[in-house]
Structure 1
Amino acid sequence: MLYGNILTPEGWRLGEIHWDGGRITRLTGEPVDPDTNEHPRLLPGFVDLHVHGGGGADTMEGGAALATLARTHVRFGTTRLLATTMTAPDAEIRRVLGEIAAYMADPDPRAAGVLGVHLEGPYINPGKLGAQPAHARSGPIGEVDALCALAPIRLVTLAPELAGHHALIRHLSERGVRVQLGHTLGSYEEGVEALAHGACGFTHLFNAMTGLHHRKPGMVGAALAHAQYAELIPDLLHVHPGAIRTALRCIPNLYAVTDSTAAAGMPDGDYRLGEQTVTKCLGGVRLADGTLAGSTLTMDQALRNFVGLGLSLAEASDRLSRFPADFLGQGEIGRLQEGALADLVVLDPQLQLQAVFVEGRDVSGNVQGAPACP
């Protein structure tokens, strides 16, 4: 049981949250404005749908690296994540998918829960790789089905303009896999058409896609005009604050991701990102030619950045928890209500993380401070 300012789907409540068997059993208390007291803020655990690594470990390494990155991100309030792959040869992707499935069958109880896989490539445009290795190609349905048989792929990023991808989008949507548009040279019209075929989001909005021009709106224009969901990296490096504010006004369920690399939670230096070496310096991660290559963002900092841009704490929380959970159709995470999993974070009034719970287990690890237990 914890006591504090609890963010429920109906608003803030000052009271107690109880759980048993990993699920929330009871919420008590009265409506409150959390700014009127110094009690801790209790929020749903953060849900990060785009994680390449952390703590020096990269998803494509598989094996023990998966536990390392999941333990790293839980220190910063992420209670659920998608292990995100890189564009790579088929054999490499198959290997790592098998290792992700094996880890999910026997996960580290001290870590963030892995919900499944975000397959970012290889079905992307070779002319818009960003920091992806040069193994991009179209996605035959049979090949994609074979990959889905190896691990629970929950989300696929692809370029809709590639041959056969309209059929692939429809196929994935019918089997319950979410499709995001990204690493694309597609036009506004191609983006709108892909949404009509079943695509439902955009990968790291503004980055690695055709930009907005008033006579050529591009993939960004398709997102701003039509999207209900899109992911965005709010590290204030990948996207200018003005562009973030634009997206917040246009896309109802815009949600935060870290797109974090092995460099997250680590000192400056060289790290792996798939088959490539990236360098962390001055708060960013780049390839040798200066191209941004993922981030070092953590979700607690993403929350503070959104609040710094003018969002209320409740609004910022939705974009780190409820909206990504809803995007995946996961109604038992991303919210604090009776029957939901007891995934929550405890913040002080300055929004510094104090404790993290996954299914009611205290997994705070190296988080400073202590939970607000009576």
Structure 2
Amino acid sequence: MRVEGRVVTPTGVVDGYVEVAGDTIVTVGTGTPASGRWVVPGFVDMHTHGGGGHTFTTGDAADAREAAAFHLRHGTTTLLASLVSSPYELMRDATAAFAPLVAEGVLAGIHYEGPYLSQLRCGAQNPAYLRDPSVEELEALVELGGGAVRMVTIAPERPGALEAVKLLVSHGVVAALGHTDATYEQTLAGIEAGATVGTHVFNGMRPPHHREPGPVFALLGADSVVCELIPDGIHLHDGTLAFAAQVTGPDRAALITDAMAAAGMPDGEYELGGQAVVVADRAARLARDGAIAGSTLTMDAGLRQAVHAGVAMVDAVRMAATTPARAIGLAGEVGALAPGLHANLVVLTEDLRVESVMRAGSWL
């Protein structure tokens, strides 16, 4: 099977085709007539809490399956199911419920965003559930997941955080730094301990200051760290998005949705981590204090926003697929149009709207 168009490869755009056999890409060729259609790798969303009226945060497997299906229709062929801060029992039960979905390939893994986060920078995380990192909890959860736990976000200034980061890394789990009031030096200590991702950089963090750069400068400046960026025009001004992408380059910036259940749904009242959320004009905010509570973004809309902000198409695609795939350890499987990788791709119209989605060699 051949899919023709303006093919976005890791190194540039070619007027050509992607040839698929079974569930694998076998050739990326050139020489077909120019087309207005874009052919890009399936998006990889390493941070999403739900969508289409469904959520990952309650640990319900049927709901998780529907949330993944919603994002698949928007071109996301690989995603992590992100939980929010919650009691250990919910983390345990969600891990047990989602592990079969990871084995099936519906999910690429589980991401715990919390509960080991800063009270001061908790954002929409439920402050009632925040606590210091527990090596014992993490050991038990990672063992229970049997490889399903892929990333954990921690505030590096909390007692026990560095030990937790080291433990995660020793088990092959990605350690991310976020929802943090850490100093520049405390953030660097987290990176030295092995953290390789900055969770939605700028958001849920001590803001940078020229005499106290804090976590933002430490993460943007660290060669070993991939910085998540939310390209919805709400979490980040387009100028901030473009600036951050220029500082990191496309190999260290990952577009994420941070979507909640309200993505793709009408304005109204929703729930996140046991807290009421009001959605109005695309923005999701906590009812109690107006804090931004995730997003209503999809990855195709995020790609359009990044290009609108001035990020080159090839770079934006790397940030939406190639870089996040590498960040969560899947670079040899997904995230690019290259021979030998899974046949996950998205056909976009000239104005970057989803026309069709292929996952594992089958059209959606």
> Aligned residue for 1:57?
54
Using a 3 Å threshold, how does the CA distance of structure 1 residues 224 and 60 change in structure 2: closer, same or farther? Answer: closer
Q: CA deviation at 1:166?
A: 1.0
> Aligned residue for 1:318?
318
> Aligned residue for 1:20?
21
Q: Which runs of 5+ in 2 are unaligned?
A: none
> Aligned residue for 2:122?
129
* Secondary structure at 1:150 match in 2: helix
* Secondary structure at 1:345 match in 2: strand
Q: CA deviation at 1:162?
A: 0.9
> Aligned residue for 1:140?
134
Give the % identical residues: 38
**RMSD, aligned CA:** 1.5
> Aligned residue for 1:4?
5
- CA distance in 1 between counterparts of 2:104 and 2:188 reads 41
- CA distance in 1 between counterparts of 2:69 and 2:6 reads 26
Q: CA deviation at 1:31?
A: 9.4
CA contact (8 A) 1:185 1:209 kept: yes
TM-score normalised according to structure 2 size: 0.94
For residues 328-339 of structure 1, the aligned pairs below 5 Å read 328-330=328-330, 331-339=332-340
CA contact (8 A) 2:9 2:314 kept: no
User: Per-residue displacement from partner, 1:258-303 (whole Å, max 9, x unpaired)?
Assistant: 0000000111111221222211111110111211000001100111
- CA distance in 2 between counterparts of 1:10 and 1:133 reads 42
User: Per-residue displacement from partner, 1:127-183 (whole Å, max 9, x unpaired)?
Assistant: 221101121111221210111122211111000011111111112112211111111
> Aligned residue for 2:242?
245
> Aligned residue for 2:269?
270
> Aligned residue for 2:228?
231
Q: Which runs of 5+ in 1 are unaligned?
A: 108-112, 364-374
> Aligned residue for 1:83?
81
Q: CA deviation at 1:102?
A: 2.8
* Secondary structure at 1:114 match in 2: coil
Q: CA deviation at 1:224?
A: 2.5
- CA distance in 1 between counterparts of 2:102 and 2:222 reads 35
CA contact (8 A) 2:239 2:309 kept: no
For residues 293-312 of structure 1, the aligned pairs below 5 Å read 293-312=293-312
Q: CA deviation at 1:242?
A: 2.1
TM-score normalised according to structure 1 size: 0.91
> Aligned residue for 2:45?
48
- CA distance in 1 between counterparts of 2:226 and 2:138 reads 23
CA contact (8 A) 1:256 1:319 kept: yes
Q: CA deviation at 1:106?
A: 4.4
The aligned amino acid for 1:38 is: S
Aligned length: 354
CA contact (8 A) 2:4 2:18 kept: yes
Using a 3 Å threshold, how does the CA distance of structure 1 residues 244 and 68 change in structure 2: closer, same or farther? Answer: same
* The 10-residue stretch of structure 1 (20-29 or 196-205) with the greater mean CA deviation from structure 2: 20-29
Q: Residue 116 in 1 paired to residue 98 in 2? A: no
> Aligned residue for 2:102?
104
> Aligned residue for 1:72?
70
* The 10-residue stretch of structure 1 (131-140 or 339-348) with the greater mean CA deviation from structure 2: 131-140
